[in-house]
Every structure is written in C-alpha cells, then in structure tokens.
Amino acid sequence: MTAADWAMVVLACLPLAAAVGAFIAPRLGAALGVSSGLVMLLAALMLAARVMSDGTAQHELAGWGAPLGIVWVVDGLAALMLVLAAGIATLCAAFRAFEGGQAPLFWPLWLFLLAGLNALFLSADLFNLFVALEVLTLAAVGLIALAGENALGAAWRYLLAMVLGSSIYLMGVALLYGQYGVLDLALLGERIAVDPVTAVAVTFVTVGLLLKSAVFPLHFWLPKAHGRAPTVVSAALSAIVIAASYYLLIRLWFGPLSGFLATGAAPLLGALGAGALLWGGAQALLQRRLKMLIAYSTVSQIGFGMLVFPLAATASGTLAWSGAVLLMVAHSLAKAALFLGAGCVIKARGSDAMSELGTPQRGLRTAWIAMAIACASLIGLPPTGGFTGKLWLLQAAIAEQAWVWVVIILTGTLLTAAYLFRMIDVAARPRCGSGPDDARPPVFLACAALGLAVGAVLAGIAWPAVQVSPGAITATVTGHASTLALLGFALAAPWLCMLAVPRQRALGWVLPLAPVPALLSAMFTPEAVHLGSVGVDAVTRLFLIVAATLWSVAGWFAVQSGDRPGRHPVFALAWLAALAGNLTLIHAQDLLTFYVGMALMTFASYGLIIHSRQQAARAAGRVYVAMMMLGEVAMMLAIAMLMAHSAPGTPPGFAAPVATAPLAVALLAFGFAMKLGVFGVHAWLPLAHPVAPVAASAVLSGVMIKAGALGWWRISEPAAGQFPEPGVLLVVLGLLTALYGAARGVMALAAKTVLAWSSVSQMGLMVIMAGVALTHTDAAPAAYTAMAALVMHHGLNKGALFLGAGLLDADSGPQQRLVWRALWLPALALAGAPLTSGALSKAALDGAADLSPLAGWLSPALYLAAVATTLLMMRFLWCTRATQPGHDKPMARAPLLLWLTLVVAATLLPWTWFRGEDAFHEAWTLSALTGAAWPVLLGLGIAALALRGGGPPQLRSPLPALTARLNLTAWTAPTVLGISNLERGMQLWSVVGRLIFVVTGLFLAVLLTPLL
C-alpha cells in the first residue's frame, strides 16, 4: 500500500476507532477527539499533496474493483473537502474541549459524525454515499439533542427531514441500479443515457439532496436545528455537514448526471438558489436571536452555490465552478467562525437575544473581531474568499450576458450586508444591564473563531494563485533593492503594528509611527518603482506625502489628546486597518488592487465613526455602511465586467475602462462619487465626520475621501480631453456640490458639522476640475495640476482645522486664544486668501478654467464658490469662538506644538511642492492677488452683516416631518408580519409535503418535457 492508501485508511478508520474508545473511556473523549482531528488533518494534507502532484488517488478495498468491490477515489475536490472538514473539525473539537461541561456521549457522536464525513468524501458509488449520509444523520441528531429539552423538537424534525431526504434519494438510486446495473460513479457516467426512466431517477436523487442541503423551499428543518444545537455542533452542521450535501449535489450533477444539464434543470436549480438568497436573507433580517440569524444566513448563502448550475453549463463554466467551490470553502470557514464567536458571546452573556447584547468586554473583543472578519467574507469584501468567489461568479455571468444572475448575485450581496450588519451593530451598542458578563470564556475559544475567520481571508488571497497557471501571472519588479524594501515596509508597517495592539503600553507609539515608513517612502523612493501590483509614480508621491503626514499627526492626537481613543484596542485596530487600506490604494497600479485597498479602508473606518457608541454615532455608522455598500457593489460589478473580457490572471489596468467599457466607467464613477461625497450621494459625510473622534475626522475628511478623486484621476487621465459632454455634466455637478455644501454649512450649529459640509463643498471643486480635464486636451494638464493642489492644500488644512477644533473642545487655559487665532490661517487658506496655500490652489483652478471651453461662465462661478467658502469658514470660527469650555485645564504642550507644526506645513508645503508650476508664478501676480482678495473680503463683509443681524439662520431638516407623515412603520409592519407568518407556515409538515411535491413536479416537468 502507498502512503496515499494509508492516508485513506486513517481517514476512514481512525474516527470510528476513536469513537469506540471515547464511548468506553468517556474521560479520554476530549483527548481522543482533538488528537484524532489533528491526525486526520495531517493525513488529509498528505493526501491532498499527493493528489496535487500525481493526480487522482484511488484505493480498491481488498483488491476488489468496481462494480463488485468498494473503491475509494480522491480527486482535487474530494481532497479539498477532506482538508476543510478535518481543519474545521479539529478547531471545533479543541473549542469543545476548552469549553468544558461535556456530555458523556458527545465525543462518540462527534467522532461518528467525522467518520461519516470522511466516508462521504472518499466514496465513489451511490450506495456507499447513501450509507455515509445515514451515518451523518444519526450522529447529527444525537448531537443536536444534547443541547437539552429545548432542542429535542429541532432534533426530531431534523431526523424526520433527513430520513425523508434519504428515502427519496434511495428511490432514485434504486431506479438507476435497475436501469444500468452499476452504482459506481465512473461506470455510471459511461453508461447513463438521457431517457425518461433516468430522468425520474435523477429527479428523486436531486430532490433528496436538495432536502438534505436545505435549499429553499425545503429548508424548514435547518434554522431550529442549527440555532438550538450546542455551539460546536451548530458550527459543524453549518460549515461542513451542509457543505457535504452540497458537495454531493455538484459531484453528481457535474459527473454522471451532467447530460441532464442541457435540459431546463440548470436554470431551475439556479432559480431555487435565487429563492434561497432572497428568502433566507429576508428571514435573517427579521431574527432577534444571534444564532437564529446565523442559521438563516446559511439558508441564504447556499443560494450563491446553487448559481453554479446555470453558469457552469456555459462556456465560462470553469470560472463559475472555481467561484462556487471557493464560496463553499469561504462559507464553511466563515460560518464556523461565526458560530464559535457567537458561542463565546453566549457563554459570557448567558443569552443570544440580540436585545441583551452590547459593547463587548475585553475578554470578548477577540470573538467579536473574529465575527466581524467572518461577516466581511460572507458579504464579499476584498480580499476575502467570499469576494474572490463572488467576483468569479459575476465574471462568468457577465461573460455569458446572464444579467438575471448578475442582479441576483448583487441583490444577495446587499441582503447579506444588511442582515450581518445587524450583528455588528449589536457590538457597537452600549451594554444593557449587567448580566453574567464577569464569566469570561477561555481565551482559546475566541482564538479558535479568529483562526477560522482568518482562514476565510487567506482563502481569497491564496486561491487565485492556485487556480491561475504560473505563466498567466506577470509580476513587474523594477527598482533598486533598498527602495523596493522601503516600499514593501511602508505597506507592511500597519499590519506589523497590529501585532503590538494587545500590549496596552505600545498603543502610545503604534498609531503615530505606523505611517512613518510611508512618509519616508514618499520622500526617498524614486518614481517608476514597481513591486507587483503596487508602485510609486508622481501621483502616488503627491497623495502619499499628504496621507502619511496627516495620518501620523492625527495618530499622535488619537493617543495623546482628548479621551485618547487611540489607546482603545478596537479603535487602534480599525485605525491601522484603515491606514493599510489607504496606503494600498495610493500605491495601487491596477483597478483590482485599488478596489481592495479602498474597500479595506472604507469598512475599517466604520470602527472609527462609531467609537463613542452613542446613538448619533451608531446612526451615522448605519448610514455610512449602507451608502458605502452600494458604492462597493457598483465597483465590484465594474471590475467583474472588465475582468470578464481580459486574460485570466490579469487585473484590469486603469487605462482599460474608458476606452472599452463605458458602463463600467459609470459604475466606477458612482463608487468614487459616493466616497467623495458628491451632491446626491453625500448624505453620509455630514453625519459621519462630526460624530467621530477629532483624530478620525481629520483623516476621514483630509485623506480618505480623496480616494474617490484618486480613483477618477487614474481612470480618466488616459482619456483627458476626449469626452466634452460628460465633462460638462461633471462641471455642473461639481458646482452644485460646492454651492450646496457651503449653503448647508453656514446654517450648521456645531463646528465639526460645519467642517463636514465644507468637505462636501471642497470636493465639489475637485469634481469641477475632473470635468474640465475631460472637456479639452489643452485644459487637461492644468486641471490635473489644480486637482493635485487641491489634494495637498485641502487635506493638510482640513486636518489642521479638525484637530484645532479638538484642542479647543478638550482644553482651556492661557494658550487657548493662540489656538483660536491660529485657526484663522487654515480657515483663510480654504477660502483662498492671498499668500496662503489656498491662493495657490485658486490660481491653479482659475488657470484650468480659463483654458476650458466653459471659461465664460465657469470663472465667475468659481469666484462665487470662493465667497461661499469664506462664509463657511467664518461660520466655523464663530462656532468655535462661541462654544469655549468653561473649565481652566492647561493645554498639553506636545499636541499644541505638533498642531502648530501642521498649520505651518499646510501653509508652506504646497508652495514648495508646486514651485515649478505655472500656478505658482501666476499666484504672485497682481491680478491673482486681487482676484483672491476680493471674494474673501466680500465674504467677510457678509459675515459681519450677518453677525450684526443676530447670526446666520438655522435650517431644519424636513425629513423627520416627512417620515412622520409617511408613517413608514405602518407601511412595513404588515409586510414583515406576512413574511414571518409565511415562514412559520412553510414549517408545517402538511405544507412541507406539498412543497416537496411541487419541487419534484417541477423537476419532472423540466426533465421529461424534452424527452416525451
């Protein structure tokens, strides 16, 4: 026997022997369970290595081959499932061992469950597969029942459903055996014919497996079984038992039954998957208990896997197949992490009622972080396995023009984000009541969940390298070794700093120092340096110098001033993740890498926004996530469209979309506009920026919203001057954004709110220049220079304003007047006052406008925007002056000096950086000085008149009154109640029988109609 043969024997026999041993010696059950899992994992890895190197492994028991004997066959898919099941089972077993309080029968049943799983993945004939399914069923029923009386009904329902599914499956197997006389999958594939009898058999086999896989509408047994079982049992059932049934379904349909894919069965299976996505997602949204939400998430997520049937039957089948398998793997890892994390929370709180959960204690932070990472994979955020799998499914659907499935995938993704965000929002809510929080679960329990969640991320990173042939991957590396090392260290620094977060003392230096390597890279790395999909060019250096400077200064404020949010581990992790994403997108040299960085930065920022856990912060966080999710989905669709028509393993470049895919450009523009806060998609910005800590507000407004500008710059620069009509639309939209933001800002009451609306207004200027660049070739260079000046000037000055407002709010004393007076410098700079960096930016704007075909009306409009910005800054200074704290606390010297340094840098650095540009020389001319002065003087005069009249007017939003008139609750309550009642009705046995009859009838009609 070869090593591969011995590995198969170990996988099949070891869990059975260990189960007997655990039954005889219950005290050794935990040791046997964990050690058996480790040995099986090693055997599965060795077998997988053998399959990868030599191809399919096969073992004939006792030397008897098919059809008389039993043959074990392990190909790539089976090896993957063996490794996946062993890995998850080992961590789950360790979780159970550390959890304590085991029932004596748990370990024998657990090991029998693993034996059934291994037998299923090794088997290669229909009857042995049936036997393995039965072993799985009996072991799972016992494990569910161990949860106590509350779970007995769920266990009984599970048993009846599985027996019913097995019976239907067995009827199909009997028909196939009677028709062809063999059960071996390979032999059956050679003999099977597409005829009426076989169609009936295929229907029974398929319906039986659909019932076991809990595919809508045959999911009635799953929610209560998974929601009421013990923690590790829920994890195993959702992660690997459901995956085993799905594995068998795709193994048969893409194996011996593949001849029937040409019928209408493939679209029907896809339709059931679409129903699962939508119905399971709707039910998950309505759940009030944590484990039930996760259980219904399984119902929904199965739907993504079912879409492989209509897509894999096309010319893009290989891509769809890879995406579906990766989604199965990522789902298994993420779902196990969710259930184990939920188990930690339940152990600490004593309940999984979401109304009783809240901000986690220190002992539960790791569990919630694991759950957040798992949620990111299920939603499909890059670079997780869920993202890569969905991207491949989307590529396959787009390549085949199957737009129905594209809509289903995107809708399912948004639904997934909606119901999983409910879980994350619970962690952001202040705790209700005391509860049994003092009972901390062992640290390893949360670490097990975190390991599985990280596995879901690594699957998305490693899988493409396995799927794409080495010849299709081209990694460009140009530059000296030292500069490449500095570039790599700059990108890795935030991730390395995360390792220091658990040490409380390290938090005082981690946040300020993490961006320093990026700052050094911006200063010393020459242009045209590339390291794979990241690199440095002139645009990168510009954005990087601003980002690294502000991230470092704001990081110091986060750990030294105010309530020191940077010393909170969760805030520090979110900060570093957002920084890592920001640095990645700045260095990105292709669209996919840019998107990965932008998504990481965007969703890590949620942790910064809701740091205070106050109701306003949580409400702003919900709006932020909802709007950002729409933008991310649009960008993911655009990238999938571009990759669907490119070579495998080749990410789309920045120059690709404008020339080849106008729809993709529109989708990317929507995503960029969402991040920029352009008028119409700006609602999140004035809500999110004011409620975040000042350090977070500084980087959100000064750096992160510029990601949209950078993305548009990258994709539009190759097409500069070639699209005048869209350019005019952008100019009008930008002008509307600039004026609307200023108008709303002057009516705001809080200083940070004024600054948030100021960011909306200033991003309008960015959009104007983006439009000017498209209108005429001659105007494009000047327009991009103006955008560059805006990036540096606005980023540094806006950061200084936010941090200065934070100093005023936090401290008082003799130095307070110095801060308020110093705030005038960045405020006047934003207004464009002469001799400030704003004057340089305004000269660049005017120069670009004069070269465009729109100069006749655009130049006066820019002067109007300057007047509006002046009024906005006067409003800000008035708010900061009017709301001084009443205490007499001395201001710390270090933050004050650092802030003053930032103010000076914001004034001088733009002049130094652009000293060779035309705008630099133009800004010193008399006409430019006059043009910069009079809008500021006019704005100051209007502000003075307004103050004499009692202050600027206050604007009240009409939304509360409108919402009250519409009475949305009265509209939605009947729908919610109807969905809940329909789900309860679908779980009645009489209704279950009818649903099985309907699904069977549909398959018979689809399969038999072409044959009769």
Residues above pLDDT 90, as percent of the chain: 53
| Cα–chain center distance at 30 | 36
**pLDDT score recorded for residue 387:** 93
Tokens encoding 423: 């879980």
CA–CA separation, 205 vs 833, rounded Å? 77
Section 689-700 average pLDDT: 92
Contact 112, 70 (CB under 8 A): no
Indicate the pLDDT class of residue 951, thresholds 50, 70 and 90: low
DSSP states of 923-984: TTSHHHHHHHHHHHHHHHHHHHHHHHTTS------SHHHHHHHHTHHHHHHHHHHHHHHHHH
Of residues 858 and 508, the one with the higher pLDDT is 858
CA–CA separation, 113 vs 87, rounded Å? 14
Kindly report the number of other CB atoms within 10 A of residue 289's CB atom.
18
Residue 2: burial class (beta carbons within 10 Å; 0-12, 13-18, 19+): exposed
Reduced to 3 states (helix: H, G, I; strand: E, B; else coil), residue 74 is strand
**pLDDT score recorded for residue 657:** 64
CA–CA separation, 556 vs 862, rounded Å? 36
Contact 705, 817 (CB under 8 A): no
Tell me: pLDDT of 366 over 70: yes
**pLDDT score recorded for residue 568:** 87
Q: At 23, phi and psi to the nearest 5?
A: -70, -40
**pLDDT score recorded for residue 988:** 87
Indicate the pLDDT class of residue 171, thresholds 50, 70 and 90: very high
3-state percent helix, strand, coil for the chain, nearest multiple of 5:
80, 0, 20
**3-state secondary structure string across 461-481:** HHHHHHHCCHHHCCCCEECCH
Indicate the pLDDT class of residue 27, thresholds 50, 70 and 90: confident
**pLDDT score recorded for residue 300:** 94
Residue 477's beta-bridge partner residues? 531
Tell me: pLDDT of 941 over 80: yes
Tell me: pLDDT of 978 over 90: no
Indicate the pLDDT class of residue 236, thresholds 50, 70 and 90: very high
Angle between helices 290-306 and 317-349 (to 10 degrees): 170
**pLDDT score recorded for residue 435:** 47
* Type and span of the H or E element at 30: helix 29-54
Indicate the pLDDT class of residue 882, thresholds 50, 70 and 90: low
Section 241-247 average pLDDT: 93
Q: Radius of gyration of the chain from Cα atoms?
A: 31
Write the pLDDT tens digit of every residue in 130-152: 999 999 999 999 999 988 888 88
Residue 535's beta-bridge partner residues? 530
Write the pLDDT tens digit of every residue in 431-446: 654 444 445 667 778 8
Contact 44, 143 (CB under 8 A): no
Angle between helices 926-948 and 816-831 (to 10 degrees): 120
Contact 752, 809 (CB under 8 A): no
Nearest one of 702, 709, 629 to 669, comparing CA atoms: 709
Tokens encoding 635: 């960008």
Contact 357, 426 (CB under 8 A): yes
Q: What is the pTM for the complete model shown?
A: 0.90
Nearest one of 755, 630, 631, 737 to 701, comparing CA atoms: 755
Kindly report the number of other CB atoms within 10 A of residue 1012's CB atom.
6
Indicate the pLDDT class of residue 166, thresholds 50, 70 and 90: very high
Tokens encoding 174: 């009997």
Largest CA distance in the chain: 101
Tell me: pLDDT of 972 over 60: no
CA–CA separation, 921 vs 925, rounded Å? 7
Indicate the pLDDT class of residue 160, thresholds 50, 70 and 90: very high
Contacts made by residues 494-501, CB under 8 angstroms, sequence distance 24+: 494/576, 494/577, 494/579, 494/580, 494/583, 495/576, 495/580, 497/576, 498/573, 498/576, 498/577, 501/569, 501/572, 501/573, 501/576
Contact 410, 298 (CB under 8 A): no
Least confident of 347-351, 697-701, 959-963: 959-963
**pLDDT score recorded for residue 724:** 85
Q: At 726, phi and psi to the nearest 5?
A: -60, -35
Section 240-244 average pLDDT: 93
CA–CA separation, 491 vs 435, rounded Å? 42
| Strands 529-531, 477-478: pairing kind | antiparallel
**pLDDT score recorded for residue 796:** 94
Nearest one of 620, 664, 624 to 640, comparing CA atoms: 664
Identity of the amino acid at 895: P
Write the pLDDT tens digit of every residue in 367-402: 888 999 999 999 999 889 999 999 999 999 998 888
What is the rounded (10 degree) CA torsion for 272, 273, 274, 280? Answer: 100
| Termini Cα distance of the chain | 50
Residues above pLDDT 70, as percent of the chain: 90
DSSP 8-state symbol, 125: B
Write the pLDDT tens digit of every residue in 510-566: 899 999 999 998 888 777 777 778 888 889 999 999 999 999 999 998 888 767 887
Contact 291, 341 (CB under 8 A): no
Section 102-109 average pLDDT: 86
**pLDDT score recorded for residue 923:** 85
Indicate the pLDDT class of residue 473, thresholds 50, 70 and 90: very low
Identity of the amino acid at 642: L
Contact 611, 564 (CB under 8 A): no
Tell me: pLDDT of 848 over 60: yes
Tokens encoding 555: 């990081």
Kindly report the number of other CB atoms within 10 A of residue 847's CB atom.
21
- The H-assigned helical ranges of 701-815 are 706-716, 724-745, 751-775, 780-810
Tell me: pLDDT of 35 over 90: yes
Nearest one of 563, 561, 589, 566 to 576, comparing CA atoms: 566
Indicate the pLDDT class of residue 776, thresholds 50, 70 and 90: confident
Nearest one of 331, 411, 343 to 376, comparing CA atoms: 331
Section 631-652 average pLDDT: 84
Tell me: pLDDT of 201 over 90: yes
Indicate the pLDDT class of residue 471, thresholds 50, 70 and 90: very low
Indicate the pLDDT class of residue 979, thresholds 50, 70 and 90: confident
Kindly report the number of other CB atoms within 10 A of residue 658's CB atom.
20
**pLDDT score recorded for residue 345:** 87
Kindly report the number of other CB atoms within 10 A of residue 500's CB atom.
17
Indicate the pLDDT class of residue 892, thresholds 50, 70 and 90: low
Indicate the pLDDT class of residue 424, thresholds 50, 70 and 90: confident
Q: At 947, phi and psi to the nearest 5?
A: -65, -35
Section 153-165 average pLDDT: 92
Contact 300, 331 (CB under 8 A): no
**pLDDT score recorded for residue 449:** 92
Identity of the amino acid at 499: L
Mean pLDDT, all residues of the chain: 86
Indicate the pLDDT class of residue 896, thresholds 50, 70 and 90: confident
